[in-house]
């Protein structure tokens, strides 16, 4: 499973400043901190070993890299909100800021590496997210069918934490050492430089991130613990979800991993998680948690060590198998010291262990956490395609509540032809929905449009003939090599407006029932009244006003007895 690092923010709208170390290796020179006049210098614990830089330009370069990183983060946030034009400009500005700086890159190789990494990350982020969005985790112009906005994955910026810049308070080392001796954990909790520095990081630079994440965990921990107990996986590992996504079902990483547990498409297939145009079970909280528990258990069976299992969860087991084959039976921490695993993976395990320690007693470590109420729901079988907005209205439930309970619905519409699909509803809502679901309109699908490749066709000629950009053609037809007679997809399947209640041919609508009619282009109050054998006056009475009969408006109709 390709998983990256840890965003020390929870969501794009509340991001805290991220260090420029995201794009530069920890070995790069760092400007010395400013001294405080009249104050004695803090004694550095034995676990820290840093040498102050001498070059006076280093501080200015560090500030430049920080500004560029913040601008990059803003571009990432805009891109995930769908504001593509503004996002591209921010990403471009972040690289141009470094490129046009007065500092010579050949003179400062770490600045040149930062620039190249920044440029590469910007291109990868833009391409991966646009590709995911164009493949239609949505695509309808109806505001009720727009997909929920994907959020930055917490795991994406684990590389941004430079542990070598963190000074640990000796009092924290003493307190944690004593606490861990008294606590009972079902996995080994290593205490070393990396774990202590991560604890210090959370207590100071990322306190808000930790508090918000633990508060969010209240929604899911009862469910996580039940599933982990059933799968016989240590309960402490449920806090890895904070490091992966900060418990956000719509978290999406640069590695194309999604959900609370950050599954890629390939890993989702390995653990029977469906990824279709309608449903992405990587965002299904219950199913993805069970898949994550089974994956962690499989990694432990393979390596016999929970710390290596967590590292393999981050960057894949194949890398660790190669390391063990080359170096023999060495520990995860020896691998980290040798630098044979990626920086984000080096930081991943200390992040999880630090989170477990803090979560065991947040108040003792200075965190004020107000836990969210546990998520409760009941299931309801839906065997046809119905808009989530219509279901919300039928059972008198806020649409946002249904979205929160069903983040796996990529189009805000239940899947068609899936008799096994179960919609999650608030407790008690299924009885009301069962009484009204027969009157809810179905949403048919427009089949994709096709193009048959001719002799001599190139992507450019197909684009000219169809009026579709080359990039869009590539996104609709991934990994396709053009050859004569081949059929290309020119339009993703999308949801079509349908205002007719679903019924069999010749069947009569039930009398005296309340239905919801969605206005189609060209319809008038008179034509709607005629259609349902009622009168204009009644329709106006039921809907207060029909002066604005715009397409898409919902009208309440009571069928005559």
Structure confidence by residue, pLDDT tens digits, 357-393: 999 999 999 999 999 999 999 999 998 889 999 999 9
Every domain of the chain and the residues it spans: 12-33+44-365, 379-441, 445-495, 509-561
> Crossing angle, helix 306-315 and helix 343-360, to 10 degrees?
130
**How large is the average pLDDT for residues 463-470?**
75
**316-336 pLDDT, tens digit each:** 898 899 999 889 999 999 999
pLDDT at 345: 92
C-alpha dihedral (400, 291, 336, 29), degrees to nearest 10: -20
**100-120 pLDDT, tens digit each:** 889 888 888 888 878 887 787
**How large is the average pLDDT for residues 511-530?**
72
444: helix, strand or coil: coil
Please calculate the CA angle 534-539-541 and round it to the nearest 5 degrees: 130
**How large is the average pLDDT for residues 111-136?**
64
pLDDT at 561: 57
Same fold, 12-33+44-365 and 445-495: no
Partner residues linked to 489 by β-bridges: 450
Which of 76, 121, 145, 244 is catalytic? The answer is: 244
Name the least confident of 12-21, 267-276, 292-301.
12-21
**How large is the average pLDDT for residues 20-42?**
45
Residue written as tokens 């239905």?
Answer: 515
**How large is the average pLDDT for residues 245-250?**
95
Beta strands 378-381; 487-489: pairing state: unpaired
**The token pair that represents 286 in the structure block:** 């219950």
pLDDT at 266: 83
**How large is the average pLDDT for residues 437-449?**
73
Residues 6+ apart with CB under 8 A from 237: 187, 228, 296, 306, 310, 352
Matching CATH number, 445-495, of 3.40.50.720, 3.40.50.150, 3.10.350.10, 3.40.50.20 = 3.10.350.10
Q: Decide if pLDDT at 196 tops 90.
A: yes
Annotated active-site residue 200? The verdict is no
Q: Decide if pLDDT at 508 tops 80.
A: no
**276-315 pLDDT, tens digit each:** 878 999 999 999 999 999 999 999 999 999 999 999 999 8
Q: What share of the chain is helix, strand, coil (3-state, %, to 5)?
A: 50, 5, 45
Higher pLDDT, 449 or 271: 271
pLDDT at 109: 83
- Asked if 501 and 440 touch (Cβ cutoff 8 Å), the reply is yes
**How large is the average pLDDT for residues 187-216?**
94
- Asked if 148 and 250 touch (Cβ cutoff 8 Å), the reply is yes
pLDDT at 22: 46
Cβ density class 474-484: b for 16+ within 10 Å, e for less: ebbbeeeebee
Domain at 509-561, CATH class: alpha beta
- Asked if 332 and 349 touch (Cβ cutoff 8 Å), the reply is yes
Q: Decide if pLDDT at 19 tops 60.
A: no
pLDDT at 506: 33
Name the least confident of 121-135, 175-189, 448-462.
121-135
**How large is the average pLDDT for residues 50-56?**
58
pLDDT at 263: 94
Q: Decide if pLDDT at 480 tops 60.
A: yes
Mean pLDDT taken over the chain: 79
pLDDT at 233: 97
Query: Which segments of 360-421 are extended strands (E)?
Result: 378-381
Query: Domain spanning 12-33+44-365 has what CATH number?
Result: 1.10.530.10
């Amino acid at each position: 499973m390709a998983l990256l690092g840890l965003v020390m923010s929870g969501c794009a709208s509340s991001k805290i400043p991220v260090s420029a170390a995201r794009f530069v290796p920890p070995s790069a020179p760092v400007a010395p901190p400013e001294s405080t006049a009249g104050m004695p210098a803090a004694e550095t614990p034995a676990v820290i070993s840093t040498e102050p830089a001498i070059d006076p330009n280093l501080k200015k370069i560090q500030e430049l890299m920080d500004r560029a990183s913040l601008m990059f983060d803003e571009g990432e946030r805009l891109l995930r909100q769908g504001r593509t034009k503004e996002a591209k400009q921010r990403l471009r500005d972040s690289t141009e800021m470094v490129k046009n700086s007065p500092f010579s890159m050949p003179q400062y190789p770490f600045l040149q590496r930062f620039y190249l990494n920044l440029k590469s990350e910007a291109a990868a982020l833009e391409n991966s997210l646009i590709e995911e969005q164009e493949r239609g985790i949505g695509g309808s112009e109806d505001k009720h069918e727009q997909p929920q906005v994907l959020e930055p994955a917490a795991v994406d910026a684990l590389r941004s934490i430079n542990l070598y810049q963190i000074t640990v308070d000796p009092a924290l080392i003493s307190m944690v050492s004593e606490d861990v001796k008294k606590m009972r954990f079902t996995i080994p909790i290593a205490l070393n430089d990396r774990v202590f520095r991560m604890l210090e990081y959370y207590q100071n630079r990322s306190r808000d991130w930790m508090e918000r994440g633990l508060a969010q965990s209240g929604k899911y921990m009862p469910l996580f613990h039940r599933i982990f107990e059933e799968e016989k996986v240590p309960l402490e590992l449920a806090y890895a979800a904070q490091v992966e996504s900060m418990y956000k079902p719509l978290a999406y990483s640069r590695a194309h991993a999604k959900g609370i547990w950050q599954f890629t498409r390939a890993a989702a297939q390995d653990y029977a998680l469906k990824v279709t145009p309608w449903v992405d079970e990587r965002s299904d909280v219950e199913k993805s948690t069970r898949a994550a528990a089974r994956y962690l258990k499989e990694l432990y069976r393979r390596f016999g060590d929970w710390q290596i299992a967590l590292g393999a969860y981050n960057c894949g087991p194949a890398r660790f198998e190669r390391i063990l084959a080359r170096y023999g039976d060495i520990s995860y921490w020896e691998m980290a010291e040798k630098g044979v695993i990626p920086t984000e993976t080096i930081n991943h395990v200390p992040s999880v262990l630090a989170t477990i320690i803090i979560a065991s007693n947040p108040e003792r470590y200075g965190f004020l956490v107000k836990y969210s109420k546990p998520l409760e729901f009941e299931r309801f079988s839906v065997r046809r395609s119905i808009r989530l907005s219509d279901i919300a209205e039928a059972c008198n439930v806020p649409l946002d509540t249904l979205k929160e309970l069903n983040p796996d619905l990529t189009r805000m519409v239940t899947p068609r032809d899936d008799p096994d699909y179960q919609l999650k509803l608030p407790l008690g809502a299924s009885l009301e929905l069962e009484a009204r679901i027969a009157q809810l309109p179905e949403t048919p699908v427009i089949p994709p449009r096709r193009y048959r490749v001719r002799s001599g066709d190139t992507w450019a000629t197909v684009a000219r003939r169809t009026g579709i950009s080359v990039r869009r053609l590539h996104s609709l037809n991934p990994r396709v090599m053009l050859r004569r007679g081949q059929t290309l997809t020119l339009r993703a399947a999308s949801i079509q407006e349908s205002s007719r209640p679903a019924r069999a041919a010749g069947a009569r609508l039930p009398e005296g029932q309340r239905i919801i009619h969605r206005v189609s282009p060209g319809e008038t109050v008179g034509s709607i009244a005629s259609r349902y054998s009622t009168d204009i006056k009644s329709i106006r009475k039921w809907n207060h006003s029909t002066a604005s009969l715009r397409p898409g408006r919902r009208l309440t109709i009571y069928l005559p007895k």
